[in-house]
């Protein structure tokens, strides 16, 4: 507004600021001229309103209401030309403008409103053009950084230098990915310290501190996938972000979207390549003699310790498996051991090799790896994969390169056989050999006939009656016939459990205390998952 008063059009009218002089720094978004009483309803805010006062009303109450409506609308300033309606502004207008903080200017000479409008509009357009040029310059510098081989950190550094403040890139759920400051030649806090102050233990999106500007980096998907990351600009002192900084951030976000998309595509291809290598190794198409050299080319340098095969099984044909590899790989970096991870989308497998220091580390490393894998699944939002089963992590036996092919093959088959089991952090491949054998027989008609003979009466009962009895039998056998533990897990009193077990005995015509019967029923319950 102050700049508008310095232009020739308004300056020739001998402007006098009679109210709101302390708010002349307001930005004029547009200029409007009007003489109707309801002019406020035609405005959007940010306008400089030119008037001769014909619409202000004759009574003080009308004049006060007119000014209050303009102030509520948020216009930049009210400019009244004296002479046609007023020789001087009425006290009601001036006092209301002062009370509402609305800049009020009176012109002592007549001026062509069209001239004022043209001058200010030209100034506004020129100002926008200047901002665009500055934002485009930042875009050009970011592009040059990328073409020169730089990545996300270089783009953030250019933006931080331009804004003079730290810039951050976070995940959609608020975890920090990258941080960049304006450079060591400028005074200021460490970017990570600024980040901790900005975060404050809460998601920025939920409660952004004053002055913080957020820009979404598009992901190209729908829903949550439409945002791949988020740029956070945190100028110091809580001051509003200059418009040009927001424009520059929007352009940088577009470049970052391309960089992240490219990085994901490259990671997908690399993950598929590692999955092909591990599958070829398991199937004998790559010998144990040639495998170490090929693994080194893929970035896997495990040292002299034993190798641990691990396979995470998802549903066959699971969608989003290659992107999942990136999230899982990031989680595995915290495990602190060498990992070669691949994906096999068609089979729904994530095979990997892990380098151990000693065989004694197997259990501890398996715990950390399983936790990292599940964290990666959650980050990648893989809950919409086909089949509805939770991921199954199977850990094979540690050994040298000679033992790796059989170990990978065993773990992969066991992961398929373990789908539908109770959700444990991970399974030892050796302890699921019975399930693996039944899984291999899944298409044999004798297995289905065996399940039907052993469990048919209970299946027929559960199809038409309540409560179902198969879950009771399964829990009872899982606890080795210990009735107290069975009742506790099923949340039943003892008598109710006894009644259900008696009903199961009657339907099956067997004795649940007979070891041979228990073995038959246990195998049938395991086989039931595969023949269904």
pLDDT at 80 (0 to 100): 92
194 Cβ contact list (under 8 Å, min separation 6) = 166, 188, 234
Beta pairing partners, 17: 105
Is the predicted pLDDT of residue 237 greater than 70, yes or no? no
Residues 174 and 87 in one domain: no
Question: Is the predicted pLDDT of residue 235 greater than 80, yes or no?
Answer: no
Position 354 pLDDT exceeds 90: yes
In terms of domains, do 219 and 101 share one?
no
Q: What percent of the chain has pLDDT over 90?
A: 35
- Residues 235 and 155 grouped into a single domain: yes
Q: Are residues 485 and 453 in the same domain?
A: yes
Q: Are residues 300 and 194 in the same domain?
A: no
* Both tokens assigned to 86: 């007023």
Q: What is the pLDDT of residues 278-308, one digit of tens each?
A: 999 999 988 999 899 888 878 888 989 999 9
Is the domain of 462 the same as that of 414? no
Dig out the tokens for 189 from the structure: 């806090």
**pLDDT-wise least confident of 91-95, 326-330, 484-488:** 326-330
Domain annotation covers residue 124: no
CATH, residue 359: 3.30.70.2730
Q: Are residues 255 and 351 in the same domain?
A: no
Q: Residue 379: pLDDT band by 50, 70, 90 thresholds?
A: low
The CATH number of whichever domain residue 214 belongs to comes to 3.30.450.40
3-state DSSP call for residue 287?
Answer: coil
Span 130-183, pLDDT tens digits: 777 888 888 888 888 888 776 787 888 888 888 887 888 887 777 777 777 775
pLDDT of residue 138: 85
What secondary structure letter does DSSP report for 380? T
pLDDT tens digits, one per residue of 461-483? 999 988 999 999 999 998 899 99
User: What CATH number does residue 477 fall under?
Assistant: 1.10.10.2840
Q: Domain check: are 454 and 408 in the same one?
A: no
Q: For residue 496, give its domain range.
A: 445-531
DSSP one-letter string for 235-278: -GGGPPPPHHHHHHHHHHHHHHHHHHHHHHHHHHHHHHHHHHHH
Residues 157 and 47 in one domain: no
Q: Decide which of 321 and 293 is more confident.
A: 293
Residues 6 or more apart whose CB falls under 8 angstroms from that of 519 comprise none
Give the model's pLDDT for residue 449: 93
Alpha-carbon distance 103 to 25, whole Å?
10
Residue 38: DSSP 8-state: T
What is the distance between the alpha carbons of residues 374 and 377, in angstroms, rounded to a whole number? 5
CA distances from 357 to 306, 341, 467 (A): 7, 18, 52
Which of 200, 134, 160, 245 lies closest to 168, judged by CA? 160
CATH of the domain at 29: 3.40.1390.20
Kindly indicate the confidence band of residue 455, based on its pLDDT and cuts at 50, 70 and 90: very high
* pLDDT value, residue 137: 86
- pLDDT on residue 201: 45
In a domain, 316, yes or no: yes
> In the prediction, which pLDDT does 454 show?
92
How does strand 77-81 pair with strand 47-51? parallel
**Residue 209 confidence (pLDDT):** 57
pLDDT higher than threshold 90 for residue 272? no
Is 272 among the domain residues? no
Q: Is residue 164 part of a domain?
A: yes
User: 465 and 363, same structural domain?
Assistant: no
* Three-class secondary structure of residue 368 per DSSP: helix
pLDDT at 155: 86
Peptide bond into 467 cis (omega under 30): yes
* 280 assigned to some structural domain: no
Question: Where does a domain end: 111, 132, 167?
Answer: 111
**Calpha distance 293→306 (Å, rounded):** 16
Residue 361 confidence (pLDDT) above 60: yes
Q: Which of 111, 132, 158 is the last residue of a domain?
A: 111
Residue 40 near residue 70, CB atoms below 8 Å:
yes
Residue 433 domain flag: no
Looking at every residue in the chain, the average pLDDT score rounds to 83
For residue 154, tell me if it sits in a domain.
yes
Report the number of distinct structural domains present in the chain: 4
Structure tokens, 474:
């399964």
* 405 lies in the same domain as 450: no
For 1-59, write each residue's pLDDT tens digit. 788 888 888 888 899 999 998 888 888 888 989 889 989 988 888 899 999 988 898 89
386-423 confidence digits (pLDDT tens) = 345 578 899 999 999 999 999 999 999 999 888 877 67
Answer yes or no: do 206 and 84 share one domain: no
Cα separation of 118 and 31, whole Å? 9
pLDDT at 205 over 50: no
């Amino acid at each position: 507004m102050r700049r508008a008063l310095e232009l020739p059009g308004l300056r020739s009218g001998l402007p006098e600021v009679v109210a709101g002089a302390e708010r002349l720094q307001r930005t004029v978004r547009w200029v409007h001229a009007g003489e109707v009483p309801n002019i406020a309803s035609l405005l959007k805010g940010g306008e400089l309103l030119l008037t001769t006062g014909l619409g202000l009303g004759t009574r003080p109450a009308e004049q006060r209401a007119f000014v209050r409506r303009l102030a509520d609308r948020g216009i930049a300033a009210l400019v009244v030309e004296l002479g046609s309606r007023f020789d001087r502004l009425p006290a009601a207008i001036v006092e209301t403008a002062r009370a509402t903080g609305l800049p009020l200017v009176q012109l002592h000479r007549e001026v062509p409103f069209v001239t004022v409008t043209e001058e200010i509009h030209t100034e506004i357009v020129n100002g926008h053009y200047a901002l665009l040029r500055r934002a485009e310059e930042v875009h050009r510098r970011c592009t040059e950084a990328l073409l020169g081989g730089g990545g996300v950190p270089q783009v953030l550094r250019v933006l931080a230098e331009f804004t003079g403040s730290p810039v951050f890139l976070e995940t959609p759920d608020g975890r920090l990915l990258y941080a960049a400051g304006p450079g060591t030649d400028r005074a200021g806090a460490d970017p990570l310290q600024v980040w901790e102050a900005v975060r404050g233990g809460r998601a920025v999106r939920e409660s952004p501190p004053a002055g913080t500007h957020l820009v979404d980096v598009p992901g190209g998907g729908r829903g949550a996938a439409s945002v791949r990351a988020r740029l956070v600009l945190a100028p110091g002192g809580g001051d509003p972000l200059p418009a040009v900084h927001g424009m520059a951030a929007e352009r940088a976000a577009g470049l970052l979207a391309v960089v992240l998309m490219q990085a994901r595509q490259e990671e997908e291809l690399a993950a598929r390549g590692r999955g092909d290598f591990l599958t070829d190794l398991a199937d004998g198409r790559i010998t144990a003699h040639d495998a170490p050299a090929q693994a080194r080319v893929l970035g896997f340098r495990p040292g002299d310790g034993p190798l641990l095969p691990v396979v995470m099984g998802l549903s066959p044909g699971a969608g989003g498996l290659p992107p999942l590899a990136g999230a899982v790989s990031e989680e595995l970096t915290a495990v602190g051991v060498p990992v070669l991870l691949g994906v096999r989308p068609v089979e729904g497998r994530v095979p990997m090799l892990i380098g151990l220091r000693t065989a004694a580390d197997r259990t501890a490393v398996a715990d950390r790896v399983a936790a990292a894998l599940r964290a990666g699944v959650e980050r990648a939002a893989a809950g919409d994969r086909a089949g509805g089963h939770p991921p199954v992590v199977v850990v094979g036996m540690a050994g040298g390169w000679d033992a790796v092919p059989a170990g990978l093959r065993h773990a992969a088959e066991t992961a398929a056989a373990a789908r539908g089991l109770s959700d444990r952090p991970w399974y030892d491949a050796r302890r699921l050999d019975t399930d693996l054998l039944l899984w291999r027989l899944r298409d044999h008609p004798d297995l289905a006939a065996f399940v039907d003979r052993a469990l048919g009466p209970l299946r027929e009962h559960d199809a038409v009656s309540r409560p179902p009895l198969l879950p009771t039998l399964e829990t009872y056998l899982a606890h080795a016939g210990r009735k107290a533990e069975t009742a506790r897990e099923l949340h039943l009193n003892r008598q109710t459990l006894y009644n259900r077990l008696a009903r199961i005995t009657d339907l099956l015509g067997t004795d649940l205390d007979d070891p041979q019967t228990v073995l038959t029923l246990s195998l049938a319950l395991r086989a039931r998952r595969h023949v269904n």
